[in-house]
Structure formats: structure tokens, C-alpha cells
Amino acid sequence: MIKLVVCVSGGGTNLQHIIDRISDGTIHEAEIVRVIANNADAYALERAGKAGIDAVCVSPKSFDDRGSFNQALLKAVDEVKPDLIVLAGFLVAIPPEMIRKYPDRIINIHPSLIPSFCGVGYYGLHVHEKVLDRGVKITGATVHFVDEGMDSGPIILQKAVEVMNGDTPEVLQKRVMEQAEWIILPRAIELIAEGKVRVSGRRTEILESPDMEA
Ligand code: GAR
């Protein structure tokens, strides 16, 4: 059984799907030992509370400088000795010291098909605004390991989603969540928990091909 810390900033729908897949037994080799939010108003904190999961807020606003915030964030993680840190809509930069301390043990869900529509300024609804501006017909979501670059770590899973005529950023965001994010993030956790993801340089190898229909 691996121990997860899930980091969140907002609504926490991805967190909710991880909680649900653990309770229905789809993810059976992992448990969430702590949820960390960077924002006290994050609805994700309520979701964690309802599920009886330890939840803490570590906000940059409570610290004089970035270094002190980074230290507090790392402490909140280290305290529960996680095997895997899941960034489920965590919209603050991860301290480099945390990335060095947890190599290949931090994963992130990004709402596009990396390397498209990622990097600085590409987060949340902005990603979908830019997808619609550019007029692409296919978008999607990516789960990847976190390295010291921005959205540049080894890709674990991706799933494509169609852009439809008349989409607004909000409508597209919801479709990408429903058809991609809420499926591939729990699936990636399950695969890692079962020891089925091998990292080799910039690539990952999935030792058993995931059934994307589930
Ligand atoms: C999700 O769409 C996630 O992919 C995105 O934030 C949203 C959080 O929603 N993350 C990023 O943009 C990271 N670059 P949620 O709080 O409902 O899970």
C-alpha cells in the first residue's frame, strides 16, 4: 500500500475522483494520508474533510518570503512520509528542493496534450482559452512526472478529447475533465501503486497496458 499526499488549489474534482476510485476499490494499493491546499478557500479542503482525510492549508500569503513558504510546504509533505505526491490542480510552483528530494515521486495532471499548450501561463481555464484561440480540433490531458522544468517531466498517460463547434473555455474544460482527467489521473496512481510504471530518461514504460475504457 503506498501513501499519497494530494496537493490542490481549488475545486478539487480530481481529488474527488481519486477518493472515489480508492473507495470503490479501483485503486486498491494506495491511500491518501494528507491533502495540502495553498489556499484556505479551496473547496478541495471540504472534500477531504468529508472523506475523513487529514487536510492542511499552507498558503504563501502566511509567509514573508518564498523560501519560508517552500520550507513549510516541504515540512507538511515530509511529516507524513509519502511514497507519491499528486498535484491535482495545484497551481503554485513546486520548490526545487522538493523535486530533488522526491525524484520520480511527484506527478501532475495538466489539461492539454503536452507538449502543446503547456509551460508558463498555461494553467486552469487559460489552457482551454488558448486551445480555442488556436483553433485546434483535438486537445486532452496529460499525467506526467514533475521535474525541475515546467510541464517537462516524463509523460505517464495522455488522453485525447475533441474540440466541438461552439465550445466555450468552460464547456471544453468540463469535457476534458470528464473524458480525460478524471480517468487518467486515478489510472496513473493505480499503475504506479502496482509498480507498473518504469521511468527511463524522458520516457516511461507502462508494464501492463492500461485499459482506458474502465
Ligand atoms: C484541472 O483542470 C487541472 O488539470 C488543472 O487545474 C484544474 C483543477 O481542477 N491543472 C493545471 O492547469 C496545472 N497546470 P480541480 O481542482 O477541479 O481538480
Distance 87 CA to ligand 1 centre (A): 9
- Dihedrals φ, ψ of 140, to 5°? 160, -155
Contacts of 144 (CB under 8 A, 6+ apart): 107, 108, 110, 114, 151, 153, 154, 155, 156
Fold of 1-102: Rossmann fold (3.40.50)
- Is ligand 1 within 6 A of the CB of residue 11? yes
Enter the C-alpha cell of residue 145.
512526472
Q: pLDDT tens, 151-203?
A: 999 999 999 999 999 999 999 999 999 999 999 999 999 999 999 999 999 99
Judge if 1-102 and 108-214 fold alike in CATH terms. yes
CATH number of 108-214: 3.40.50.170
Q: Please tell me the pTM assigned to this model.
A: 0.96
Domain boundaries, the chain: 1-102, 108-214
**Which ligand 1 atom is nearest residue 109's CA?**
4
Pocket test for ligand 1, best of 6, 8, 14, 128 (most atoms within 8 A of CB): 14
110 is catalytic: yes
DSSP 118-180: -STT--THHHHHHHHHHT-SEEEEEEEE--SSSS-SPEEEEEEEE--TT--HHHHHHHHIIII
Centroid of ligand 1 to alpha carbon of 201 (angstroms): 26
The mean pLDDT of the chain is 96
Shortest-distance atom of ligand 1 to CA 123: 12
CA of 206 to the centre of ligand 1 (A): 24
Predicted confidence (pLDDT) per residue in 96-105, tens digit = 999 999 999 9
